[in-house]
Amino acid sequence: MDIRKCTVLMILVLIILGVPILYGCEEGNMYPPGLAPTFFEIAGGENFNDITLTIYYMDFFTLNPAPVRLEQLTGGWRDNKGQLIGGWYDHRIVVPGENLAENRDLIKQIVNAELVQVENGLFVNARLYYVFEHVAYGELFSFLAFGSGDTMFVNGLEVEYNSIFFEAVLPFLPDDAFETIERYINTMRQRPVHHRHP
């Protein structure tokens, strides 16, 4: 192979390798490909700009003939006739990153909360659901109340009640939801603690 062909080949190799490296160093692409930041890393950092929190709330005391599924709460499900149905939520709130940054201490408490797993058959009556999402990596963390009794789901795992998962979203809720959840938290504080284990 002569020097000219070898030089052209080397330039092509540098272009093929160099473009992805340069693209990966652009602002907003600083995480290695395929390695999404964890919720723990983001909550512990300073930059919440690429994160949004979406909250779906249905009054805890609204009576329904059957437990509410998550898809019914959030919307986008189809009835038995195939018709697209909107969510049953009373409030849907989208919180941008700059507002999350102002409440970073509450979010850090979510990350550090102790989780006690329970197995109650994955019974769901969805009344409060929230999800933190990254603009590039999608869902990072989700919470759903309620499971069997007073259990909750954190990232799909059924766990014992922990008030911090309710307290963390109180600053973002309208007055009626705030008051209902605060009343629920106060009621739970008055109950004796019985730890269940799987």
DSSP states of 43-105 = HHSS--TTEEEEEEE--TT---SSPPPHHHHH--EE-TT--EE----SEEEEE-HHHHHTTHH
Q: Domain check: are 139 and 101 in the same one? A: yes
Same domain? 171 vs 96: yes
When pLDDT is cut at 50, 70 and 90, the band that residue 26 belongs to is very low
Q: Domain span at residue 2?
A: 1-30
Q: Report the percentage of the chain scoring pLDDT > 90.
A: 39
Same domain, 92 and 183: yes
Q: Cα–Cα distances in Å, from 170 out to 39, 87, 94, 126, 179?
A: 19, 21, 13, 17, 9
Per-residue pLDDT for 198 more than 50? no
pLDDT digits (tens, 9 = 90+) for 71-90: 999 987 666 776 666 789 99
**pLDDT class of 15 with cuts at 50, 70, 90:** very low
Is there a domain that residue 197 lies in? no
59 and 18 both lie in a single domain: no
Residues 41 and 136 both lie in one domain: yes
Whether residue 129 sits in one domain with residue 86: yes
Query: Looking at the structure, do residues 63 and 9 belong to the same domain, yes or no?
Result: no
Instruction: Answer yes or no: are the C-beta atoms of 39 and 111 closer than 8 Å.
Output: yes
Find the range with the poorest average confidence among 7-21, 33-47, 52-66, 104-118.
Answer: 7-21
Based on the domain organization, do 74 and 141 belong to the same domain? yes
Asked if residue 92 belongs to a domain, the reply is yes
Query: Which pLDDT score, from 0 to 100, does residue 111 have?
Result: 85
Give the pLDDT confidence score for residue 46 in this predicted structure.
64
- Whose structure tokens read 């954190």? 154
How many domains, in total, are found in the chain? Answer: 2
Is the same domain home to 56 and 17?
no
**141 and 170 housed in the same domain:** yes
Identify whether residues 3 and 91 lie together within a single domain.
no
